[in-house]
Chains A and B, each alone.
Chain A
Amino acid sequence: MKDTSTPTGGTAQQGVPAGSRFSRRHLPWLAGFVALLLLPWATPNAYHHYILNIILINVILAVGLNIVKGFAGQVTVGHIALAAVGAYASAVFAAKFGLPFWVALPAATLFTGMIGALVGIPSFRLEGAYLALATLGLAESVRVFIGVTDYIGAAIGFSDIPPPYFFGRSVVDHVAYYYIVMPLALVGIYFSFCILRSDIGRSFKALREDPLAAAACGVNVRKYKLLAFTISALYAGCAGSLQAHMAPGFLHPNSYTITEMVTLLLMVVLGGLGHIWGGVVGAVIVTIIYDLTRDYYQYQMAIFGTVIVLTVLYMPRGIGGLIDNYFATRRFVAIRKAKANAA
């Protein structure tokens, strides 16, 4: 399978100069990066900067979940446990072993990737609801393990996790932390874009549509399932590490329950399962809705539950699906118009 597509979604055209192609590919990302660089200055106070960081961490988590669930079609409900693994691993590396954040973050990400590969093994034999049950079991096991392990704070919580240091200055301010989280989130989105547009992405899709047919076409089903879980876990590990080191540097197993997993699923489902921007759009919207409904805590979970049910019933492809439909229709109309004009 030779990939001819670009990370911007367009198809590389013959005869287009290489420089122009490069610009087309990367200029929007650069523009997006510049826009995001300026974003903290457009938000009014430190609370919004804090929410921005939460949104971006959720974006990383949701984009990762979208890879395994949306792209590869593996029904996992254990993603939140992988975030917990990443968070606690990073906390241990930094607080117990004295490693700086800049080492703890990649180390925890890789460690979570390895755990993700282990989690992927049951997917060789399990599918659908059975795989969901296996991953749910894993998620609960991780939470329970954390809750009884004194070394990592058990049910009291893991406190005093050091913040990142940058040229000798601690990054405890939310704006400063944003400039660590934002580039990572953007790289994560770009990376997921690259995956989807590559051989790997096509194999994931084939796997999602029909594993048997994919195998018949020469796709190594086991390899790609394992890869999907591993890549997804890398995202979860990175997001977990970022959660751990954000002020006030405190972790607790209660932050990784089934409720958090459902919220994460909502992000991906609402954004659009398998839609390249689904995780991003879902994470942004759900985090903001969650924050805006904070005052109505009695009804918050009911609101979220209703949104999930309505989305699945009336918008099964999520917001991403709606956007796709809109552009597809617009393009179709344009083609018909062009043909009509030509006639």
Chain B
Amino acid sequence: MRILSVGKCLLFASAMVLALSVVPGSASAQGTVRIGVTLRMLIENGFKYGQMTADELNEVNKSGGINGQKIEVILLDDECKPDKGVANANRFIHQNKVHLIIGSTCSSVTLPLVDIVTKEEVPEIVPHSTNSSITQKGSAWVFRTSVSERYYAAVHAKYLAENAGKKVAYLFTNDGAAISFVRDYKKYMQETYNVEPAYEAQMQETDLDFRAHLLKIKSLNPDVLAIGGQIDAIARIAQQSYEIGIPAKVRRVSASAASNAPVPELAGDAVKGLIFAAAFSCTDEREIAKKFVKMVQEKYKVRCPDHDFSQAYETAQIVKLALSKAKLKLTDASLAEDRKAIRDALASIQNYQGLASGPINFCADPTPQCRDGNRTGILVEYTKGGKDYEMRVLARVGFDPDFGLPKK
């Protein structure tokens, strides 16, 4: 059979690629601030985090925009995959010509984004990722509203060492957040109290049965069971720890993923007594927090918004504040200048009081001291599990900007 000639096929391939080139890019309307948002959308509440960020930013358009300038939000999912996040960022920067990027949820996506925005000189504000390295890369273009892991670790580690004990067993899955949670907790215990882990085991994200390790942990009689993982793993480990008979006096502590609503819903009563460090609790009694919780309940039908909601909201408010401060020309020719102006406006935000338990401060130096704006973590304990779960705040801890950074 005669087959297609090489030339024709290459021409076909070229035609397909050219088809890509004629796909209209998002119109870069002049006089509009374009903001690209890349988050992990297809998870529990993930879409709502993104939608809320977009809604909060788009809201200003109803009242004529900020300084008369409208906002256009482009919302994309990165599936918590770095290659997807990188593709989104490239599209935002080169095709949509955005002035600012908001993202991402997962640290493994945010880390490569930092390199891209630094090279392309586009300001980025990180709403959720907690990995300490993000701001330690020294990028002048990156800001973070979520609490860095270097603070989180100390929030629960200090509390537990003083109130429960120093004999800690670690059981965690192989996701980035869980690994960082355990690494930072261990580091804090080693450096502060010179205590080594009583037990340590890592399992897969998809594992369902943790009983073998939990039985070994039970025999060691630890003071604390540190559970690292995402929603399912935390709920399962908490549940199975009671099934195999680890007593309630052994305090259960988990990474900030424990704040996500499915954890208490899946784990039921096993979640009672589980503590975790977070940035926000829906039981916060402050007026601003009550107003926010009510808004999320009514608009997004979530009974108890977790700290990913609060941080997404906070990020949108900070962006609006920065845009109101920045002097923008918003022409094609002024894109680089406008990006720089937004970066400088973000860097000028000081003592911002919002949903975070403490003020958010940024400054111009490309250091973690300047760019980890939120330095207040809270310690939360579940007091009831199931659909109508409840929690209480045990402590609020503010930190110095230098806290947890490698000593020079």
Q: Which residues of A approach B to under 8 Å, CB–CB?
A: 7-10, 27-29, 31-32, 35-36, 39, 42-48, 50-52, 54-55, 144, 147-148, 154-157, 159, 172, 193, 243, 247-252, 254-255, 276-277, 280-281, 284-285, 288, 291-292, 294-295, 297-298, 323-324, 327-328, 331
Contact = CB atoms under 8 A, between A and B. Distances in A.
B108 interface: yes
Interface string B99-117: 0000000011001100110
B333 to A, nearest CB: 16
B76 A43 contact: no
B234 to A, nearest CB: 16
A159 B134 CA distance: 12
B204 A255 contact: no
18 contacts: A7-B6, A8-B6, A9-B2, A31-B7, A43-B17, A45-B94, A48-B95, A50-B87, A50-B90, A148-B174, A156-B131, A157-B108, A250-B111, A255-B81, A288-B16, A291-B20, A297-B41, A297-B76
A8 B9 CA distance: 11
Given A157-B108, A327-B2, 20 more contacts: A7-B6, A27-B7, A29-B6, A47-B93, A48-B20, A147-B204, A155-B174, A155-B176, A156-B107, A156-B133, A156-B176, A159-B112, A250-B82, A250-B111, A250-B112, A280-B9, A294-B87, A298-B47, A324-B3, A327-B4
B83 interface: yes
B202 interface: yes
Nearest to A319: B12
Nearest to A7: B6
A165 B317 CA distance: 43
Nearest to A243: B83
Contacts of B21: 42-44, 48
Chain B: number of interface residues, binned into ranges: 35 or more
A44 B112 contact: no
Contacts of B4: 9, 277, 323-324, 327
Interface of B: 1-7, 9-14, 16-21, 23, 25, 41-42, 47, 76-77, 79-83, 86-88, 90-91, 93-95, 107-108, 111-112, 115-116, 119, 131, 133, 174-176, 178-180, 202, 204
A247 B119 contact: yes
A159 B174 contact: no
B10 A147 contact: no
A284 B23 contact: no
A29 B4 CA distance: 13
A280 B8 CA distance: 13
B83 A255 contact: yes
Contact of A28 (B6, B87, B180): B6
Contact of A51 (B20, B76, B112, B175): B20
A8 to B, nearest CB: 5
A31 B111 contact: no
A39 B19 CA distance: 12
A27 B5 CA distance: 11
A50 B9 CA distance: 22
B91 A47 contact: yes
Contacts of B112: 157, 159, 248, 250
B82 A9 contact: no
B108 A252 contact: yes
B174 A298 contact: no
A285 B16 contact: yes
B115 A247 contact: yes
A255 B82 contact: yes
Contact of B111 (A9, A39, A159, A324): A159
A272 B112 CA distance: 35
